Each structure stands twice: as structure tokens, then as C-alpha cells.
Amino acid sequence: MNGRVHKPNIGQEIPMTQTLLRIDASARHENSTSRSLADRVAERLRPAKTITRDLSEEVIPQLDAGWLHAMSTETDARSPEQHDRMALSDQLISEVQEADTLLIAMPIYNFSVPASLKSWFDMIARAGITFRYTENGPVGLLEGKRVILVIASGGTEVGSDIDFATPWLRHMLNFMGITDVQVVRSDLQNLDPEAAKARAEGDLAALAA
């Protein structure tokens, strides 16, 4: 199920992260490094509420002419069909706005982000809602949030010249006002799995609580 809400048992200690939005973008479920690392991060954060979006179970539509036309139409002037077209985008944005921490778990596919995650970002990057244009350039409207990126790869080194995923993610988040971004990576697994595990453990240990 997508958009699920989980609440902890009564008596659980109140965590620093009140509402966690978890996004999983791996096509794999079993033996998924990004999912297993994200589980550990979520357990450490102990949020009071978790909203989950599993992009392998839900098809986020790509932008098309109809969606762009609906988006550019004033809300009060939209037709019922246009309101329907914007409903998912509105819901995804609402989840981001509610969360104080975002946990985005993904593999690097062909040096970049999974297409499903790109579509998710396309749905939430909306002028006037998550960012706005000013005389001095765009300004993000999602300030005060924290993002933890969990990134796994087989042959791409995170932060290298062939990593087009991590810089793009940081840029998109910064563009929408989110500058507190931490990375937990298990990269180059196909080249040296033990070293990849060690990097992940080091990043987890360094992760601010």
C-alpha cells in the first residue's frame, strides 16, 4: 500500500523526528541494499508518524501536455478533469509539507536516479507551492526540513564524475528550500562489497540522531 501511515506503540519515547516521509525507489524488494539501510535509518529515527511511498508499487505518471495545462490553470478555473489530474501531485506535496524529515532510498540506475523517483520530483516541484520565482531568482518554500539520502550502487562511486544522481538530488532539494541533506551510501558493491558495507556503516555511525 502507498501513502500508508504507521504509528508506534503507546509509551514509545517521543523522537526528534515527528513525521517521517519515506520514499523507496528500488525495483527490488528482496536483497535490496537501499531498503535494508533505510530500515535501519528509520529505526534509529523512531518517528511518531511515518508516511511511506513505495515507487515500485505505484506508477507515478510522467508529465504530459494535459497535466502541464492543468497545472498552469488557476485552481478556481480548473475543470473537474483538471482537478483530477492534479490530485496526486497535491497529495504528494501535502505529504512532503507535513514531514519534518524525508528518507529517500534509491539505487543508482545507469548513473542516475530511477525514472520513478524523477517522476515523483516532477510531481512535487510546482511554482508557487514548493518554490517561487523572485526578482533575484527562484526561492524554495520547503525550508526547515531534513533529508537523508540512502544510495546504493553496483559500479558507480557516489560523488564521482559519473554520479549524476546525487548532485541532481541535492540540486532539486536545495531548489525547493531543503539544504539539510545527509547521505548514507553503499556504493561500488560489485567491485568491493566489503568496502561498500564499511562505507555504509561509517555513514550510519556519523548520521546525526
Quote the CA–CA distance of 25 and 6 in Å, as a whole number: 19
- Strand boundaries in the chain, DSSP class E: 4-6, 19-24, 49-54, 101-107, 131-134, 137-140, 146-152, 180-186
CA distances from residue 182 to 132, 138, 150, 170, 205 in whole angstroms, order as listed:
25, 23, 9, 10, 12
Report whether 160 belongs to an annotated binding site.
no
Point out which residues pair with 131 in neighbouring strands: 127, 140
To 5 degrees, how large is the angle CA 144–CA 149–CA 151? 170
Report whether 32 belongs to an annotated binding site.
yes
Report whether 17 belongs to an annotated binding site.
no
Report whether 26 belongs to an annotated binding site.
yes
Numbered residues of the known binding site for FMN: 26, 32-34
Numbered residues of the known binding site: 26, 32-34
